[in-house]
Amino acid sequence: MPISSKPPSTTTPTTPADAPPKSMRPNLHERVHSLRKLRIAQGRVRVRRTITRRDGVRVEVDGRWLTEFCGNDYLGLSQQFEVVSALQDGAARDGVGAGASHLVSGHHAAHEALEREIAQWLGYSRGLLFGSGFLANLAVQQALLQEDGDVCVQDRLNHASLLDASLLAGCRLRRYPHADAEGALRQLKHAPEGAAMLATDGVFSMDGDVAPLRALTLVARMQQALLYVDDAHGVGVRGPEGRGSVAEANLGMAEVPLQLVTLGKALGGYGAVVVGDDALIQHLYETARPYIYTTALPPAQAAATLAAVKHARRDQWRREKLQGLVSRFRTGAQRYGLGLLPSDSPIQPVMCGDDASAVALSSALENAGYLVTAIRPPTVPEGKARLRVTLSALHMPAEVDAMVEVLARSRDAIQRVRGAA
């Protein structure tokens, strides 16, 4: 047969030189630049403040000492001398890092002791230590909601880590109106027939109010859903022995099989512990990717938190003083007509409405010597910008009174300027 003069065919045809170019992919640097411009126009640029030194509720920022009213050290344990000594002694003994993940060679005796102490404190069978509350919330949902049709029903104002965990876990996410147990029931009734989890904050981080836990317990039981409570802002502050909002509602492991305790709020440290019954904790221990595939928390940090837990359990005076300061702040703020939300927790939002008012009020307070950060969307809903005032057992009554007075005076000055404009 004659040899063909045609070139061999190829599976990928060549593109003619005069063919129109393919559409260009978005340039990520250009996208970042345009989003930055939008945030500037909206007044929503986030700025990190560098703390040079800290002394109780006093912090040095840009060479000035300010009184902080926006932290989470509710019981004042982050610098308590026995807690700091435990950190130093632990580092001298075990070094500054765990050396590996928990399931390799990074699980130290300090981790074990902390898990056991927190579980015993809260009345649960076991605890499991994580590097952060964000990791812990992801671990719980990834490990338990694995099948098609599984659903997590959540309060609309839950912390971002709970909401993001559902998206990352791949389960269905359904949200109900804030603190609306009937809304949670409706969402569960209309959810697919897969496994279900009902997840809520115990104390809501931006509004400071408490979830209707007893009503949610009934909803979870009726719908065969597992109730999971993230009590980051409740444990240490609320309930008998500071055991949190679950204990305050006279509930326990039978009604709330899983609960999250973060270690960086009232306990003054870092990390988180999930407490639950043996079977659930064992399952997380063996399957949760955010637990398996990361280095364990430094054992010295665990030793420090263990010391903090012991203080949180026995130092009832810290909670009593804190609650007195909360009442003092609310009384003063109401006297001046400041816009508060119905919260009896150390989280006291002062509502400003628009972003510009919140930023202006925060700046005025800083000029007067107080650090109170403006909270704006998307952290809170549109039109609900605020100052998130938080109180600590380390604050003095006179400091609270003076801050409230400056807050009211600054609000009045801002309103006068706006009225004149």
* Residue positions forming the annotated binding site: 46, 133-134, 159, 205, 233, 262, 379
d(Cα 209, Cα 348) in Å, to the nearest integer? 9
Q: Which residue has the tokens 């099948």?
A: 147
Positions at the binding site for pyridoxal 5'-phosphate: 133-134, 205, 233, 262
Rg (CA), the chain: 26
Burial code of 375-407, b = ≥16 C-beta within 10 A, e = fewer? bbeeebeeebbbbbbbbbbbbeeebbebbbebb
108 closest CA partner among 91, 124, 120 = 91
Q: How far is CA 264 from CA 15, 21, 203, 273, in A?
A: 58, 53, 15, 11
318 closest CA partner among 393, 239, 377, 247: 393
Integer Cα distance of 383 and 351 in angstroms: 10
Q: How far apart are CA 400 and CA 288, in angstroms?
A: 43
64-68 and 58-61 beta bridge pairing: antiparallel
Q: What residue numbers does the annotated binding site for substrate cover?
A: 46, 159, 379
